[in-house]
Amino acid sequence: MDLNNLEKLTQLNGVSGREDAVRAEIAAQLQALGLPAHTDALGNLIAYRKGTGPHKIILCAHMDEVGLMVKYISPDGFLSFITVGGIDPRTLLAQRVTVHTASGPITGVIGTKPAHITQEAERGKAVPLSDLFIDVGLSGQEAAQTVALGDFVTLERPFVRFGNGRLCSKAFDNRVGCFCLLEALKRVEKPLLSVHAVFSVQEEVGLRGAGTAAFGLEADAALAIDTTGAADIPLCRPQDYLVRLGGGVAVSAIDAATITPKWLFDDLTDLCRKENIRHQVRIAPRGGNDAGAIHRSRTGIASCALSIPTRNIHSNVEVTDEKDIQAATDLLCAVLEKGLKGLK
């Protein structure tokens, strides 16, 4: 795997609704593979590779990341903001951000009331989103001339490798899914299944892109490649881990948006066993992904999520494991090369 490419993808900025830079980079990589892609009205990037067999599959990975949006500029030049996508406010304090203005990006820092002037009752509580602000180092007049309401804000953090095969970065959700899909397209030039490769938009704000893209495509099955939260950490019970880092690609049985058809779940897990692909079962009582929108498209498309376990999800220090990324890529390749038994 070319992890340098994964780093490149994570360091691009693409909050939901502003995926332009990510889309441009992926489109260039698809073009280099001889797969010209088109962009639909909502912004989804869609490519097609014809297979040798009669069946078609959608492989979908969303391009967007969670972020912030400026909602108010104070007379002193501080910015109030809302979240774009699900972000835990506890992860935001004292983080460096980039505010994307019409004249270019500027650096900011998220702050709140200093601890030494807070009341005793305040100190033991998480700081609410309404008490956070972005300091961009400008006066009120300068900020008003530079920043506009509605400007998007991205969380910043470099890509680093640490420990034994662990990776940390912003935006693994879901540039790692985009990376796995690109890797599979590089490796499997002559698939059995014809593949619609969809790089979707606005997943983090309601699975909006995938549903639109799927409506315009004909397919017999679909796989959404995404991250999923791993709670294999202190303070969590083993039965609440959902998935473990290093445990392999997570094949979803159920989440809040999708129940995987039995034949598809069985085909995927059987393929993992036959091809010696490390895998685990994902049973998630909450959360969803693009499979939840795709499976309701048209008259219905059998869909399943393939997930890369990720700690600290929806933060700028998301943690993944190289082995899980490799396993997800290997399963995508096996599906394209071997097909699915349930497709008749």
Point out the residues that are catalytic: 203
Rounded distance, CA 315 to CA 309, Å? 14
* Strand segments (E) across the chain: 38-39, 45-49, 56-62, 67-73, 78-84, 96-101, 104-111, 133-135, 152-155, 160-162, 166-169, 194-200, 221-229, 249-254, 279-283, 302-310, 318-321
Q: How far is CA 65 from CA 16, 72, 154, 197, 279, in A?
A: 6, 22, 9, 19, 25
Q: How far is CA 259 from CA 61, 196, 279, 291, in A?
A: 18, 22, 18, 9
Tell me the residue type at 44: N
Question: What are 327's two structure tokens?
Answer: 């396993």
Place of tokens 């997570």: 250
Asked if residue 210 lies in contact with residue 290, where contact means CB atoms within 8 angstroms, the answer is yes
Picking from 176, 151, 157, the residue whose alpha carbon sits closest to that of residue 61 is 176
Rounded distance, CA 175 to CA 65, Å? 8
Asked if residue 35 lies in contact with residue 199, where contact means CB atoms within 8 angstroms, the answer is no
